[in-house]
């Protein structure tokens, strides 16, 4: 049984940890508002861009279609672009993203496809390397900047497009979390390259739209921007998801620390009361002996 001194030390240690988790929770809550607003503000632009591409892609086909839209004619080599966080203490966020990436990899391998990985963020690297050590093509480190933004998205997109042009993969899929709330961040897999022809049309039904310059020239400029926008959206989603998951995890940790402090305090009081009772019995027994 632990001594009173050991119990007192454990209580003080847990209280110190509780202060840290409470502070981390408050910091995450403050950052979440800004990150959530940024992620939600980027969604309408991405949706509108997809709608415009739907209009353009429907008018371009055959040899006139850019490579980023038509692909290279093969579907054998697949690249999974996995977006994780650089920091921990955010619950099961990174493990859920890794599970989704591994699930997609197993599915593609079962279909006879070749799978490789492009890893963004540090926390998802180790678990993927354990199972696919020889399938890691590239790693992009976002920890060198405080808040990864459009510049980092441009760098990632440019590298992916260059790899596609060099024939290093046929299809690229983006694996990232979609922020729903502080409690829910859904792992999402979306085809990134070649750019899938979006469903729907933004032209307004039967309206006649003339493009200047022609559709091929606009798509050649718009498709790389679309890839950058998708990657940028994934970075915003992972930022919001990280803060939401961190806030929830730290709240749970703070509550658990409080429960542990209560249990240790009860144990300490019982041990202290037992020690006092023992001392009283010894005093009374000594007095009676006299």
Catalytic positions, written as ranges: 90
In Å, what is the CA distance from 65 to each residue of 62, 133, 202, 281?
6, 36, 19, 94
Handedness of CA 265, 268, 273, 276 (dihedral sign): negative
In Å, what is the CA distance from 222 to each residue of 59, 75, 255, 282?
14, 23, 49, 89
4-57 vs 215-289: helix crossing angle, rounded to 10 = 170
DSSP 8-state secondary structure symbol assigned to residue 208: -
CA atoms within 13 A on the CB side of 193: 31
Q: Check if the beta carbon of residue 177 is closer than 8 Å to that of residue 241.
A: yes
14: left (phi over 0), alpha (psi -120 to 50) or beta: alpha
């Amino acid at each position: 049984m632990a001594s009173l001194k050991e119990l007192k030390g454990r209580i003080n240690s847990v209280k110190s940890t509780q202060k840290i988790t409470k502070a981390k929770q408050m910091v995450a809550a403050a950052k979440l508002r800004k990150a959530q607003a940024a992620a939600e503000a980027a969604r309408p632009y991405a949706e509108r861009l997809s709608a415009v591409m739907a209009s353009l892609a429907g008018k371009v086909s055959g040899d006139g279609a850019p490579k980023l839209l038509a692909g290279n004619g093969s579907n054998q080599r697949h690249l999974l672009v996995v977006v994780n966080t650089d920091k921990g203490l955010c619950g099961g966020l990174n493990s859920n993203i890794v599970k989704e990436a591994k699930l997609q990899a197993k599915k593609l391998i079962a279909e006879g496809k070749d799978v490789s990985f492009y890893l963004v963020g540090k926390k998802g690297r180790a678990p993927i390397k354990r199972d696919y050590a020889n399938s890691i093509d590239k790693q992009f480190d976002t920890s060198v900047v405080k808040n990864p933004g459009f510049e980092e998205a441009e760098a990632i997109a440019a590298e992916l497009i260059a790899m596609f042009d060099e024939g290093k993969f046929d299809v690229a899929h983006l694996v990232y979390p979609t922020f729903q709330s502080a409690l829910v961040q859904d792992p999402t897999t979306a085809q990134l390259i070649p750019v899938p022809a979006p469903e729907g049309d933004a032209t307004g039904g039967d309206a006649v739209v003339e493009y200047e310059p022609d559709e091929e020239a606009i798509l050649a400029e718009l498709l790389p921007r679309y890839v950058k926008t998708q990657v940028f959206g994934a970075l915003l989603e992972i930022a919001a998801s990280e803060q939401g998951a961190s806030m929830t995890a730290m709240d749970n940790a703070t509550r658990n620390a409080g429960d542990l402090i209560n249990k240790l305090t009860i144990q300490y009081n019982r041990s202290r009361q037992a020690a006092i009772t023992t001392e009283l019995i010894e005093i009374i027994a000594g007095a009676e002996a006299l």
